[in-house]
Structures are given as structure tokens and as C-alpha cells.
Amino acid sequence: MSGHVIVTGASRGIGAAIAEHFIALGENVVAFSRSGDAPTGCAATFALDVADSRAVNDAVKAAVTEFGPVETLVANAGVTHDGLAMRMSDDQWREVLSVNLDGAFYCARAAMASMVRARRGSIIFISSVSPFIGNPGQANYSAAKAGLVGLARSLAKEVASRSVTVNVVAPGLIDTDMTSSLGEASDALAAMIPLGHIGQPADIAGVVGFLASNLARYITGAVIAVDGGLAMGL
């Protein structure tokens, strides 16, 4: 068994592009999402909520039994539920923290065991530039995405001796369902991007593919912005 790549939130947007990238490389790609939708060519799909630790553990176990150790985990599943902090409900806060941060932790914890045993592997968390530039209305999202950086750096030191790397990719404004509701605000944001346009999911997938490859074997604990220069210097 040669191992496999798990991509969470693979049903659309950035996650689908990441899954397609690894499928094109001939990898066994295991896709997680709530809907269970996934790009053609995935080796397996699981319809689950990443905030449900038991469901995550069961799915990772099943994937390891069928395809061998997890070579790469891309913890990409995410949601937004924006609102000004003074009016943000407990549920609004909890939902965003539990999917974006708890879910990423549950997936990493479940996948790490087989990586440590195999003495190889790569974990990549999809964060955002939001915590680095501070987005009004996104206190929940920014807190969760900032949390991924601390999570990644602690894990990176825990598993470095087993040749497992842990890194963070921080996308800027990317053209997906998540940003489609921005409408004209998207043009205003694009005007603030030094490269002058919003990014495509494939722009993120390429960097994730690099981090998962042998070319990046000496990179761990890094935060890489893929944002057209929006948060330059983060």
C-alpha cells in the first residue's frame, strides 16, 4: 500500500482544486466534506462534519486500512459566519471555531499516528490572511485561522524528529463560493491587491502541492501567504 492524501472540504473551491492537483499526480485522494461531493478521480469520499471528532477518527482509520499511511493531510474545510463582535452570538462564534480550528485539530490528530509510524508525512493547514490584516466582522474567523498557526507550530516541533512536516498556507482573496457573496466589495478588495486581481483555487493548490512534495522536505512550521501581495510582510 503506497499511502494516500486526505483533503478536507474537497467538494468545491480550494479543496476541490487541491484534490485535483494530487489526483493528477496519481495519488490516492481521500475527500472529506459534509455533502460527500468530490472531484472525479478521488479514491474515496466521506460525508462527515470535521467538527465531529468520532466521525473523523473513524474515517481516517478506514482510509488507513484501505490505502495505507496518510502521506499528506490538507486541513482545508472552513466556513465563515461574519458579524460585528458586539452582535456576534455564541453559536456564531462556536460554529466558526469548531469547523475551522477544532476540525483541523481532529483531522491532524487522527492522521498523525500513521505518519509518525511511517516516519514521513506532511500536514498543511489552510488558514487565511484575515488574522494578519484584521478583518472587521471576522473576529470568529480570524481567531480560528490564527489558532491554526499556533497549532501548526506546536505540532511541527512534536513530530519533526519523525520527519513529518507541518505548515500553514494563508490564502488572500480567492474566487470561490465563500467569496462570491462579496459582489462589488470584491472589486474594492482587488484594488488593494498589489498583483491587481483576486486569486484562483489552483493558485493555492500549487503551493500546497509544493509543500507536500520532497522539494519542501526542509520546510516546517512555516506560514506561506498566497495572496497576490495583499498581506505582504505578515
State the nearest-atom distance from the C-beta of 175 to ligand NAP, in Å.
7
Q: Residue 78, class by beta-carbon neighbours within 10 Å (0-12 exposed, 13-18 middle, 19+ buried)?
A: buried
Q: Is residue 35 within the footprint of ligand NAP (CB under 6 A)?
A: yes
From the list 58-66, 72-80, 84-92, 107-115, the region that binds ligand NAP by CB under 6 A is 72-80
From the list 10-18, 84-92, 132-140, 149-157, the region that binds ligand NAP by CB under 6 A is 10-18
With respect to ligand NAP, which residue has the nearer C-beta, 2 or 180? 180
3-state secondary structure of 227: coil
State which of residues 28, 45, 122, 128 lies at the interface with ligand NAP (CB under 6 A): 128
Spatial CA neighbour of 212 closest among 13, 16, 21 = 21
State which of residues 171, 209, 216, 230 lies at the interface with ligand NAP (CB under 6 A): 171
Neighbours of 50 (CB within 10 A): 26
Q: Where are the alpha helices (DSSP H) in the chain?
A: 13-24, 53-67, 90-97, 103-118, 130-133, 139-159, 177-180, 184-191, 201-212
Q: Is residue 173 within the footprint of ligand NAP (CB under 6 A)?
A: yes
Among 15, 141, 155, 212, the active-site one is: 141
The answer to whether 124 touches 74, Cβ cutoff 8 Å, is yes
Q: How many residues bind ligand NAP (CB under 6 A)?
A: 30
State which of residues 72, 122, 167, 179 lies at the interface with ligand NAP (CB under 6 A): 179
Q: How far apart are CA 207 and CA 71, in angstroms?
A: 16
With respect to ligand NAP, which residue has the nearer C-beta, 76 or 167? 76
Residue 116 phi, psi (nearest 5): -65, -40
State the nearest-atom distance from the C-beta of 220 to ligand NAP, in Å.
21
Place of cell 494516500: 4
Which amino acid, 171? P
Which amino acid, 181? S
With respect to ligand NAP, which residue has the nearer C-beta, 118 or 210? 210
With respect to ligand NAP, which residue has the nearer C-beta, 88 or 116? 88
Helix (DSSP H) and strand (DSSP E) numbers for the chain = 9, 7
Near ligand NAP in 196-225, by CB under 6 A: none
State the nearest-atom distance from the C-beta of 162 to ligand NAP, in Å.
26
Active site includes 106? no
- Residues with catalytic annotation? 141
Q: Which residues bind ligand NAP (CB under 6 A)?
A: 8-15, 32-35, 37, 49-51, 76-79, 99, 126, 128, 171, 173-174, 176-179
